[in-house]
Structure 1
Amino acid sequence: MPFEEGLKASAETSKPLMLVIHKSWCGACKALKPNFAKDKGIAELGTKFIMVNVEDDEEPGDQKYAPDGGYIPRILFLNSKGDVQQDLINENGNANYKYYYPQTADIVLSMKKALETIKPAPPPKPDEL
């Protein structure tokens, strides 16, 4: 799903958005892709997220989607308002590349943490007359 559509779907459903940013030529991205696709934990938890996969020129240009640099691949979690949750990082990863996940088990851990910490936006209040 394109990024802008994902933001809209997240806002409409109040589901958190999981943004996977990668490049077609990237070796680390190519290594992660098959493991990501076959991981049962990611598949199960993925139903509770709006999953957005952006590649090459699809990457959003705003610096907020590269909070600690433009390395790839990186995985970000956003609330339904589209705010990057900068505290949701790879706890077992490199402190210089907080959103890089070489192991799917670490992705699953962050997905679980995201579901615990990202609360749905409250429904809008009806206008009072």
Structure 2
Amino acid sequence: MEKSYMSVFLLLVALSCALAKDALKKETKETKETKPKLPQTLSRGWGDQLIWTQTYEEALFRSKTSNKPLMIIHHLDDCPHSQALKKVFAEHKEIQKLAEKFILLNLVYETTDKNLSPDGQYVPRILFIDPTLTVRADITGRYSNRLYAYEPSDISLLFSNMQKALKILKTEL
């Protein structure tokens, strides 16, 4: 009789240990999935071979001192529209080549500078700033209610706006 109680007891201990291990594995997996994933590089997937600045202040300084226009991409990691635009932007060879002529910054947070959200804080939005630190309000996307918004289908417009930002700079020199 004592042996049967002991067998049942050992069986229950073994079963509870196995269930506890499964629960711990599940909890660890869920914790990993809910933790934010930190970006590997400053590009955050927008073009790993490009040189990106870390802060808005650094980008402004580099734009002014190098006499290159600044392109700022506002986006969010969990926004499907931002992800779709990022994919098209990163795969577009001409845009990647042209982007080398810019000081680049991508932001996953809003800045306190109201010049960077002239018509609201939405994502994705892309603004161009010339080396005199003037936001180019004349270089916009195709939407009247979100002037600086671009969708994947607007990639050719974005490319032409990048060219426009560079041409304006050349004519001012």
TM-score category of the 2 structures, normalised to the smaller one: 0.7 to 0.9
Distance, in Å, in 2 between the alignment partners of 1:75 and 1:54 is 10
* Equivalent pairs, count: 118
Say whether 1:50 aligns with 2:50. no
- Bigger relative contact order, structure 1 or 2, given CA contacts below 8 A and separation 6+? 1
Q: Which runs of 5+ in 2 are unaligned?
A: 1-52
Q: Which runs of 5+ in 1 are unaligned?
A: 123-129
Distance change in 2, residues 1:88/1:50 (3 Å): same
Q: Aligned-pair distance for 1:81?
A: 2.4
2:111 pairs with 40, 50, 60, which one? Answer: 60
State the percentage of identical aligned residues. 36
Say whether 1:82 aligns with 2:133. yes
Say whether 1:40 aligns with 2:89. no
Task: Determine which structure has the larger helix proportion and give its number.
Answer: 2
Task: Determine which structure has the larger strand proportion and give its number.
Answer: 1
Amino acid at match of 2:146: Y
Aligned residue in 2 for 1:99: 148
Say whether 1:30 aligns with 2:83. yes
Tell which structure's C-alpha radius of gyration is larger.
2
RMSD: 1.7
Q: Any idea what the Cα deviations from partners look like across 1:13-56, whole Å, max 9, x if unmatched?
A: 00000000111221110111111111112111111110111113
